[in-house]
């Protein structure tokens, strides 16, 4: 052959890949057109690029050592960025000393996060609780300890890419010869192959299993609250680190109370006589039975607050309130005796023919709809 690529780079024929790269970087800094624009220097720069392209690729170097020239079929080497003479990363490596980021990808990867929803009662959300949950997720295979290979075997270097995880291809374009790289189709870019996969996990290094976890639910949670359990998610492929598990809270509706933030609301319905004379009504709260004091003359729509009887604040101390709304029930069926008593009461109070009293707060349906559309 007319060109001795080893002599062009000034290295021995048994030079290591690192020695070849070091020689190329030294010459590239001296001969690059941006540094030395002399036409003869540019020709010399093309020669070292062609030499480096052949000697830095194990397959091309083997072909060259056997007497062939990998560049002879493409019409000669190139000399500009993107051509087969040199790659952009190699030139950056030559000038700035940056190591190439290419190489086989690891079989070990982080696992995915997982999420599970659990239902909690209002009392549990108010004061907190501890719950045992069962999770179906990926765990490390005990047979191969996450390696993916059958017991007694190991992964082997891929003979197609020789452990690089990628293969190169030279194509001809209007710029000259262009070298492109793609993941190795045989090892999928890992650089190794598993000739004897583990029968338990089929080479993935993990299996599906059911685990029982204890979750501490803090006081004050609400529907939609998510509790993060770090490292309790799915184990990654190849025995990689596990992701996180998120527990989402779903609060079950209560038979008596409606939650609004950290406050609780309920409605007590009392007869007209009790509202007029006053009474005490027992209420089963989250803290036990309490007597609700209905004052004489209580009107329908009034509310009675019980401070500190609501939900515990999730962030910070204290609790919300319990608000009891009063609804006065008017009897719609009266026997003759009851009707006579009501008439006598109306006569005594001068309410036989009341004229009624209208205020802005007592709006009808159409007035409320009008205010809603007007943004009031």
Place of tokens 């501490």: 216
Place of tokens 């006589």: 273
Let me know if residue 331 belongs to a domain. Answer: yes
Find the CATH number of the domain harbouring 120. 2.60.260.20
Q: Measured in whole angstroms, how far is the alpha carbon of residue 188 from the centre of its chain?
A: 26
pLDDT digits (tens, 9 = 90+) for 238-254: 888 999 999 999 999 99
pLDDT digits (tens, 9 = 90+) for 330-353: 888 889 998 888 888 878 888 777
**Residue 45 token pair:** 């720069």
Let me know if residue 183 belongs to a domain. Answer: no
pTM for the structure as a whole: 0.61
205 in Cβ contact with 237 (< 8 Å): yes
- Domain extent for 58: 5-96
Read off the pLDDT band of 98 (50, 70, 90). Answer: very low
Let me know if residue 177 belongs to a domain. Answer: no
Do 267 and 148 fall within a single domain?
A: no
Let me know if residue 169 belongs to a domain. Answer: no
Q: Which residues pair with 178 in a beta bridge?
A: 171
pLDDT digits (tens, 9 = 90+) for 66-77: 777 777 644 333
Contacts of 224 (CB under 8 A, 6+ apart): 248, 249
Let me know if residue 174 belongs to a domain. Answer: no
Task: Determine the 3-state secondary structure of 213 from DSSP.
Answer: strand
How far apart, in whole angstroms, are the C-alpha atoms of residue 376 and residue 373?
8
Decide which of 251, 274, 295 is a domain's last residue. 251
């Amino acid at each position: 052959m007319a060109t001795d690529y080893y002599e062009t780079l000034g290295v021995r024929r048994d030079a290591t890949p690192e020695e070849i790269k070091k020689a190329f970087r030294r010459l590239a800094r001296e001969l690059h057109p941006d540094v030395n624009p002399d036409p003869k220097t540019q020709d010399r720069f093309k020669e070292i690029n062609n030499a480096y392209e052949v000697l830095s690729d194990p397959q091309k170097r083997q072909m060259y050592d056997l007497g062939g020239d990998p560049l002879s079929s493409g019409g000669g080497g190139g000399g500009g960025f993107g051509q087969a003479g040199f790659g952009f990363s190699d030139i950056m490596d030559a000038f700035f000393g940056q190591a190439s980021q290419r190489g086989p990808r690891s079989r070990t990867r982080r696992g995915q996060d997982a999420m599970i929803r659990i239902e909690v009662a209002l009392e549990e959300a108010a004061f907190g609780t501890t719950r045992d949950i069962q999770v179906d997720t990926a765990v490390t295979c005990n047979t191969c300890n996450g390696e993916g290979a059958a017991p007694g075997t190991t992964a082997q270097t891929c003979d197609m890419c020789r452990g690089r995880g990628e293969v190169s291809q030279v194509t001809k374009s209007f710029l000259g010869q262009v070298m492109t790289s793609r993941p190795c189709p045989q090892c999928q870019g890992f650089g190794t192959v598993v000739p004897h996969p583990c029968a338990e996990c089929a080479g993935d290094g993990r299996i599906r299993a059911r685990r029982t976890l204890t979750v501490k639910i803090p006081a004050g949670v609400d529907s939609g609250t998510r509790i993060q359990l770090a490292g309790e998610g799915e184990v990654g492929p190849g025995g990689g680190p596990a992701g996180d598990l998120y527990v989402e809270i779903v609060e079950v509706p209560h038979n008596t109370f409606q939650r609004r933030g950290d406050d609780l609301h309920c409605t007590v319905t009392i007869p007209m006589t009790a509202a007029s004379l006053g009474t005490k009504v027992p209420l089963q709260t989250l803290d036990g039975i309490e007597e609700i004091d209905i004052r004489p003359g209580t009107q329908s729509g009034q509310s009675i607050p019980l401070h500190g009887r609501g939900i515990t604040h999730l962030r910070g101390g204290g609790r919300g309130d319990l608000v009891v709304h009063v609804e006065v029930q008017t009897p719609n069926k009266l026997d003759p005796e009851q009707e006579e008593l009501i008439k006598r009461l109306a006569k005594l109070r001068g309410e036989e023919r009341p004229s009624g009293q209208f205020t802005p707060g007592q709006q009808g349906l159409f007035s409320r709809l009008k205010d809603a559309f007007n943004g009031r």
